[in-house]
C-alpha cells in the first residue's frame, strides 16, 4: 500500500532501522536517531543497488516519487541511475571549478604577490561589484562575447567609461589565464575591441615656469596643517608620484647617502627607485621629525596613524591656495620635467629620476641606480632653483650647475 504524508510524518524511530514501502522499489528508511531517508532498491546488470533521493521532509513524498519515475525511465533506457547521478555531480563540480569567478579568483591570487595591496584590493572589488554578479557562476568556456559586452555596458552606461575599459582589460587577462591553464579556448574580450566609448584622457594640470614663483610664495604662506604644507614642499622638491610620497617611511631614508630608497612594491613600475635628497629636501624631513618621527610613516593619516595621508589632502590644500582647475600635485612632475629639459639636462637622466617605464624589463631591473651622480647634481640644482624662484627676483636659472661635464 502506498505511503501517505501523514504516515511518513508520524513515523517514529525505533531501536533498529526499519523501512516503510511506497511501491516500485521506493521506501522511507527510518533510522534509530530519527533521521528519515528516501531510498529505492533496483537491479542493474544482475546486481542489487540502492539509490538515495534525499532526506524527509526536505524532499517531500511527491518529489521522491518524481525522482523514482526518472530513475525508472533511466533503467528502461539501459542507464544505471546511480552512475548517472554521479556523472551529473561530476559535471556540476567541473562547471563550478571552471566558473569565471573561480578562475578569476585563482588568477587574482597568482598575481597578488606582484601588485601593491591597494591595486590587488581594487581589482578584486571591481570584479565582485561589476562582473561576478552577472557571469561569475558561468563556466568560462561557455561565455560569449555579447554576454560579456552586456556586462561591461552596464558599467559604461553609468558614466564610468574608464572603469568599463579597465574591467574589459581585466577580463581579458583572466580569459588568457584560463587558456594557458586549459580551461578556455580563446579570449573573447578581444572581440569587443572598439565596442566601448573612447575614454577622454584628463591630463594633470601643471604650472608653467612663469607661475612657479607665485605658487612657492603661496605655499610658504600656507596657514593650514603643517604636515600637509611640508608634504607639498617635499613633493615639489622630489616630484615623485603622490602615492609614493604618501607611503614614505622613515626606514627608507638613508641619511649618510642622502637618499630616499623606495622599494619596488610601492612603485608604479615595480622597480626600486632612488631619490637623491637635496639639502632643501633634508631640511623638510628634519621639520617632519617632531610630527611623525615616532611613527613608521612620514606622512600618516591624522585620525589613523597606521594609514597613509589621504590621497586628496594635498589636492585640497592646492585648492585652498587658489589652484582649483589650474594645477594638481601630480602636475608638479610635468613642471619639473619641462623646466629641466629646457635647461639642458639629459632626457635620460630626467626620465630615470621620474621613474618612467623602461621598455626593456631586464634592463629596468638594474636601472634604479642608473645616472645616479648626474641625478644627484640635478636634484640639488632643482632645490637651489626653487629657492631662487621663491625669492621671485632676478634670473632663477642663475647659478645652474654645469651638469653636462
- The mean pLDDT value for 83-108 works out to 81
The answer on 262 and 129 residing in a single domain is no
- Is 241 part of any domain? yes
Q: What are phi and psi of 312, to 5 degrees?
A: -95, -5
Q: How many domains does the chain have?
A: 3
Q: Which of 68, 108, 233, 241 is catalytic?
A: 241
Residue 363 has pLDDT above 80, yes or no: no
Question: Would residue 356 show up in a list of annotated catalytic residues for this protein?
Answer: yes
Residue 28 pLDDT: 95
Q: Which of 72, 105, 268, 270 is catalytic?
A: 268
H or E element: which one contains 152?
helix 145-157
Q: Which of 9, 43, 90, 356 is catalytic?
A: 356
Residue 41 pLDDT: 95
Cα dihedral across residues 320, 321, 327, 333: positive or negative = negative
The answer on 377 and 275 residing in a single domain is yes
The answer on 343 and 289 residing in a single domain is yes
Residue 238 has pLDDT above 70, yes or no: yes
Give the mean pLDDT of the chain: 87
- Is 200 part of any domain? no
pTM over 0.75: no
Percent of the chain past pLDDT 90, that is, above it, reads 59
Q: Which residues contact 349 (CB under 8 A, 6 or more apart)?
A: 371, 374, 375, 378, 403
- Is 220 part of any domain? yes
156-170 pLDDT tens trace: 888 888 888 889 999
Percent of the chain past pLDDT 70, that is, above it, reads 90
DSSP, collapsed to helix, strand or coil, labels residue 341 as helix
Residue 360 pLDDT: 45
- Is 119 part of any domain? yes
The answer on 364 and 258 residing in a single domain is yes
Residue 386 · residue 285 · CB < 8 Å? no
342-354 pLDDT tens trace: 888 888 889 899 9
- Is 365 part of any domain? yes
211-233 pLDDT tens trace: 999 999 999 999 999 999 999 99
pLDDT grade for 89, boundaries at 50, 70 and 90: confident
Question: Would residue 241 show up in a list of annotated catalytic residues for this protein?
Answer: yes
Question: Would residue 65 show up in a list of annotated catalytic residues for this protein?
Answer: no
299-332 pLDDT tens trace: 999 888 889 898 899 999 999 999 988 888 988 9
Question: Would residue 333 show up in a list of annotated catalytic residues for this protein?
Answer: yes
Q: Out of 162, 192, 222, pick the residue that ends a domain.
A: 192
Q: Which of 67, 166, 183, 330 is catalytic?
A: 330
The answer on 384 and 235 residing in a single domain is yes
DSSP string covering 237-263:
HH---HHHHHT-BGGGEETTTTEEEE-
Question: Would residue 403 show up in a list of annotated catalytic residues for this protein?
Answer: no
Q: Which residues contact 134 (CB under 8 A, 6 or more apart)?
A: 150, 151, 154
Give dist(CA 354, CA 337) in Å, integer. 8
Q: Which residues contact 26 (CB under 8 A, 6 or more apart)?
A: 38, 39, 40, 53, 64, 65, 68
Give dist(CA 242, CA 213) in Å, integer. 21
Q: Bridge-partner residues for 297, per DSSP? A: 249
- Is 14 part of any domain? yes
- The mean pLDDT value for 367-388 works out to 90
Q: Residue 71: which domain range?
A: 5-84
Q: Which of 233, 246, 333, 403 is catalytic?
A: 333
- The mean pLDDT value for 241-264 works out to 94
The answer on 358 and 309 residing in a single domain is yes
Question: Would residue 330 show up in a list of annotated catalytic residues for this protein?
Answer: yes
Residue 109 C-beta-side C-alpha neighbours within 13 Å: 6
Q: Which residue has the higher pLDDT, 165 or 269?
A: 165
Give CA angle at 183 (178, 185), nearest 5°.
Answer: 85
CATH of the domain at 144: 1.10.150.130
Amino acid at each position: 500500500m502506498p505511503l501517505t504524508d501523514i504516515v511518513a510524518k508520524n513515523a517514529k524511530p525505533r531501536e533498529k532501522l526499519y523501512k516503510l514501502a511506497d511501491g516500485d522499489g521506493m521506501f522511507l528508511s527510518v533510522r534509530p536517531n530519527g533521521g528519515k531517508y528516501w531510498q529505492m532498491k533496483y537491479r542493474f546488470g544482475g546486481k542489487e543497488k540502492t539509490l538515495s533521493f534525499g532526506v524527509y521532509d526536505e524532499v517531500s513524498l511527491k518529489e521522491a516519487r518524481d525522482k523514482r519515475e526518472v530513475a525508472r525511465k533511466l533503467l528502461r533506457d539501459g542507464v544505471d541511475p546511480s552512475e548517472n547521478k554521479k556523472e551529473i555531480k561530476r559535471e556540476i563540480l567541473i562547471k563550478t571549478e571552471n566558473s569565471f569567478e573561480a578562475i578569476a579568483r585563482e588568477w587574482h591570487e597568482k598575481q597578488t604577490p606582484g601588485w601593491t595591496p591597494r591595486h590587488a584590493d581594487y581589482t578584486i572589488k571591481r570584479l565582485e561589484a561589476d562582473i561576478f554578479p552577472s557571469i561569475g557562476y558561468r563556466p568560462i568556456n561557455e561565455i560569449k562575447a555579447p554576454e560579456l559586452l552586456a556586462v561591461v555596458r552596464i558599467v559604461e552606461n553609468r558614466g564610468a567609461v574608464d572603469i568599463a575599459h579597465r574591467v574589459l582589460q581585466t577580463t581579458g587577462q583572466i580569459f588568457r589565464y584560463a587558456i594557458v591553464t586549459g580551461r578556455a579556448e580563446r579570449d573573447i574580450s578581444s572581440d569587443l575591441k572598439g565596442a566601448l566609448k573612447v575614454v577622454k584622457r584628463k591630463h594633470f594640470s601643471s604650472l608653467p615656469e612663469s607661475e612657479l614663483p607665485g605658487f612657492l610664495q603661496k605655499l610658504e604662506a600656507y596657514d593650514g596643517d603643517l604636515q600637509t604644507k611640508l608634504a607639498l614642499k617635499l613633493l615639489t622638491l622630489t616630484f615623485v608620484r603622490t602615492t609614493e610620497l604618501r607611503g614614505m617611511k622613515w626606514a627608507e631614508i638613508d641619511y649618510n647617502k642622502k637618499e630616499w630608497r623606495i622599494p619596488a612594491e610601492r612603485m608604479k613600475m615595480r622597480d626600486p627607485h632612488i631619490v637623491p635628497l637635496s639639502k632643501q629636501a633634508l631640511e623638510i624631513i628634519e621639520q617632519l621629525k617632531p610630527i611623525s618621527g615616532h611613527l613608521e610613516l612620514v606622512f600618516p593619516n591624522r585620525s589613523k596613524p597606521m594609514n597613509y595621508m589621504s590621497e586628496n589632502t594635498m589636492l585640497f590644500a592646492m585648492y585652498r591656495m587658489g589652484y582649483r582647475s589650474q594645477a594638481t600635485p601630480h602636475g608638479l612632475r610635468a613642471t619639473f620635467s619641462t623646466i629641466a629639459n629646457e635647461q639642458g639636462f639629459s632626457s635620460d637622466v630626467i626620465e630615470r629620476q621620474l621613474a618612467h617605464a623602461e621598455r626593456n624589463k631586464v634592463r629596468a631591473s638594474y636601472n634604479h641606480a642608473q645616472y645616479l651622480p648626474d641625478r644627484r647634481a640635478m636634484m640639488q640644482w632643482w632645490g637651489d632653483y626653487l629657492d631662487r624662484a621663491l625669492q621671485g627676483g632676478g634670473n632663477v636659472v642663475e647659478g645652474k650647475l654645469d651638469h653636462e661635464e
